[in-house]
Amino acid sequence: MRRPAPDEGSGPHADPHADPRSDEVLARRAGLGDREAFAAIVDRHGPALARYAGRLLDDAHQVEDCLQDTFLASWRGLPAFRGDASLRTWLFTLTRHAAFARLQRWPRSGSRPHVPVEEVADRLRDLREDPERSSVEGALREALDVALRLLPPRQRTAWLLREVEGLGYPEIAVVLGSSSTAVRGLLERARTTLANTLEEWR
């Protein structure tokens, strides 16, 4: 696949001094078929997308397939990408679609994920009582990962994107196809559930 000329696709109003490694430039070049630019996008954003997918799906094979679907969709979609949202937000949106499609194939009870509450409670109790834990901080971090499994996918998405990835409310709203007000409500409910679940760790 040919590589674009240095100024190809830049347009008459593009900044000639734009950082060649910026998301905007990489997205434009990848949209023109530049595989090196696309590889740079994968290297830059892949770890965050893997963290997010991993905490939604709880299954290594599902996560790998989810990421493959995400990057295939992004490669196909980049020629039409116009930057209405940031590249990062767009990639999280693609990952959310791929992950939620998998979640919908699993048994559910209402809007809850498939993990039994009793299983999570037992796991949290085991973490608190394990004397071999190297540190309280490490055990608490693992307990939080376990507690996150109790949250419905949209609440878990809002919490992860805000608290782990640092996205703002408008960005999370784009990922979820919602509003900033709705995101605020999802976060409040997620934080309340997590606080109640982890109450004995305070």
- Cα of first residue to Cα of last residue in the chain, in angstroms, is 56
Measured in whole angstroms, how far is the alpha carbon of residue 133 from the centre of its chain? 29
Q: Rounded to two decimals, what is the model's pTM? A: 0.75
Tens-place pLDDT, residues 25-68 = 999 999 999 999 999 999 999 999 999 999 898 788 999 999 99
**CATH 1.10.10.10 domain residues, the chain:** 110-202
CB 161 within 8 A of CB 167: yes
Number of H helices, E strands in the chain: 9, 0
98: CB partners within 8 A, 6+ apart: 53, 66, 67, 69, 70, 73
Query: Could you give the percent of the chain with pLDDT greater than 70?
Result: 70
Reported CATH class of domain 110-202: mainly alpha
d(CA 52, CA 17): 33
Fold of the domain spanning 18-106: Rna Polymerase Sigma Factor; Chain: A (1.10.1740)
